[in-house]
Amino acid sequence: MRLRSVELEAPDCQGAARFLQVNWGLLDAGSKNGISYLRGTEPLPYVLSLTHAHVRALASVTFSGTLPEIEQARSRASLAGARVGPMRTFDEPGGGEGFFLEGPEGQVFRLVCEKHRVEKLPSERDRPLQVTHVVINARDREACTRFLIEVLGFRLSDRTGFMNFIRCDEVHHAIAYAQSTISSLNHIAFEMKDFDAVMRGIGRLKDAGFAPAWGPGRHGPGNNIFAYFVTPFGATMEYTAEVQRVGDDYKVGGPEDWKWPPNRTDHWGVSGRDSEALAEAEKQFPFRKPVL
Ligand SMILES: [Fe+2]
The model's pLDDT over 132-187, given as tens digits with 9 standing for 90+, comes to 999 999 999 999 999 999 999 999 999 999 999 999 999 999 999 999 999 999 99
Ligand 1 center to residue 81 CA distance, Å?
Answer: 30
- 54 Cα–ligand 1 center, Å: 27
pLDDT of residue 263: 86
Ligand 1 geometric centre to CA of 2 (Å) = 16
pLDDT above 90 coverage of the chain, percent: 94
Q: Work out the end-to-end distance of the chain between its first and last CA atoms, rounded to an integer number of angstroms.
A: 20
Mean pLDDT of the chain: 96
Residues lying with their CB under 5 A of ligand 1, a single-atom ion: 189, 238
Q: How confident is the model at residue 201 (pLDDT cuts 50, 70, 90)?
A: very high
Q: How far is the CA of 276 from the centre of ligand 1 (A)?
A: 17
Q: Is it the case that residue 55 has pLDDT exceeding 90?
A: yes
Q: In whole angstroms, what is the distance from residue 168 CA to residue 178 CA?
A: 18
User: 118 pLDDT exceeds 90?
Assistant: yes
Cβ neighbourhood burial of 78 (10 Å; 0-12, 13-18, 19+): middle
pLDDT digits (tens, 9 = 90+) for 64-109: 999 999 999 999 999 999 999 999 999 999 999 999 999 999 999 9
User: Could you tell me the pTM of the whole model?
Assistant: 0.97
Ligand 1: distance of its center to the CA of 255 in Å? 17
In 3-state terms the chain splits into helix, strand, coil percentages (rounded to 5) of 20, 35, 45
Q: Residue 234 above 90 pLDDT?
A: yes
